[in-house]
Amino acid sequence: MSQHSALLAHPFERVCDPIEKIVHEMGYETARTPENMVVTIPLGQVVFSLHTQGTQVGFSSPTGPQLQMLKDLYARRFNVLGLDAGIRWQTPADGRAPLNQSRCTVQSLTRISPNFARLRLTGNFSAFAQPESGLHFRLLMGPEGAGLPSLDDNGLTHWPGGQEAWHRPVYTVRAIGPDADWMDVDIVLHEGGRVTDWCARVAPGDRIALTGPSGSKMPTAQNLILLGDETALPVIMRICDGMPKGTRVDAVLALRSHADLQSPADPTHITIDTCAMDDDQALLQALASRLAQSPDAQVFFAAEKSVAALARDLIKASSMPASQARAAAYWTREESHDRSVESES
Ligand SMILES: Cc1cc2nc3c(=O)[nH]c(=O)nc-3n(C[C@H](O)[C@H](O)[C@H](O)COP(=O)(O)OP(=O)(O)OC[C@H]3O[C@@H](n4cnc5c(N)ncnc54)[C@H](O)[C@@H]3O)c2cc1C
């Protein structure tokens, strides 16, 4: 449950009478006493209470994004009714974070294999732990000394230095703690990477922010074919570790070093082959042969943008229905500002 509150500088009746009228016109009920009024709508609940300085308003919703919508709706309503002069919104202790943003602490960064570092973050990751949550998020890396993105007075995200100045690469939640109070992120280390450079200077205790969860969810098919280069290793291993018992996985990973390969927690029904990262054709051939041999499987492919485009051509040319196969671009070779190309914001 996500919650927020505001204090209106107007007496209880002056606030509740017009609000109650609107709520009833919209077809919803209110529960009112001389000191409280509770409004329940699909986005959540709004509780108005008598306060020495005016009227206290409490908002609660099942999720953060719903809470943001509920607050925005009532902010507009207060404005239209002339109730917003002197309004004081509650500021979260941690600063005013947009509701799709998590602020967390770096616990450790460990080199786990020749080309991978594992970042362990601590914080509240309960939104990432739901079965229906997306598997990905964006790291938020701003200009030196910029601070973290915050909510502006209109409730929109304020990017210090401008949004363009922020590097917001997409990463995968590799693992999440049973109490959702930590998560691991496996980072490919590569020449010229801004996150690779950041890994060289980050220290335990550093505070960072990320947005999410977003993007693809845990697949549900019984028969999975998963192919990808090293940037897709984290999501492929997450799926291998998190899929329902009995699911069959046939995976192929294109790696710079065989020593980067990870082992699934339970290898039953899982096979993982590898090929060379610098041989795009090897991964594409692995896809072509599987498309021909396993027409009933669910296929996921992720690699560099041009390779993913060729994979899409192969899928189109195969007899596999489009709904069963997906090829995603996970990074681009050419110079550009935001190289995390899939729209996972
Ligand atoms: C849904 C999704 C999930 C992803 N999950 C992960 C993950 O869990 N772990 C992970 O490491 N990556 C993951 N990626 C890929 C990652 O977002 C990109 O590689 C991103 O560009 C990394 O940012 P950077 O700061 O390392 O490089 P940038 O500073 O953005 O790029 C600098 C230079 O490096 C090149 N480059 C970018 N990525 C690579 C690469 N991997 N290898 C070689 N050259 C590269 C660029 O073309 C550019 O020339 C994911 C991408 C998507 C879309």
Delimit the domains of the chain by residue range. 2-89, 101-214, 223-331
Q: Return the ligand 1 atom nearest residue 198 CA.
A: 25
Q: Which CATH number fits domain 2-89: 3.30.310.50, 3.40.50.300, 3.40.50.620, 1.10.150.110?
A: 3.30.310.50
Sheet holding 54-61, edge to edge: 30-32, 36-41, 44-51, 54-61, 2-8, 88-89
- The atom of ligand 1 lying closest to the CA of 338 is 30
Spatial neighbors of 285 by CB under 8 A, at least 6 apart, are none
Q: Is the CB of 195 under 6 A from ligand 1?
A: yes
CB 238 less than 6 A from any atom of ligand 1: no
Question: 68 C-alpha to center of ligand 1: Å?
Answer: 30
Distance 172 CA to ligand 1 centre (A): 11
Smallest CA separation from ligand 1 atom 40, residue: 190
Could you tell me the end-to-end alpha-carbon distance of the chain, in angstroms, rounded to an integer?
23
Which residue's alpha carbon is nearest to atom 4 within ligand 1? 171
- The pair of three-digit structure tokens given for residue 84, joined into one six-digit string: 């917003």
Q: What is the CATH number of domain 101-214?
A: 2.40.30.10
pLDDT by 10s per residue, the chain, length 345: 778 888 999 999 999 999 999 999 999 999 999 999 999 998 899 999 999 999 999 999 888 767 877 887 898 899 999 999 988 887 654 457 887 889 999 999 999 999 999 999 999 999 899 888 899 999 999 998 888 888 876 566 788 998 899 999 999 999 999 999 999 999 999 999 999 999 999 999 999 999 888 889 999 999 999 999 999 999 999 999 999 889 999 999 999 999 999 999 999 999 999 999 999 999 999 999 999 998 889 999 999 999 999 999 999 999 999 899 999 999 999 754 444 544 433
> Which ligand 1 atom lies nearest to the CA of residue 229?
41
CATH architecture designation of domain 223-331: 3-Layer(aba) Sandwich (3.40)
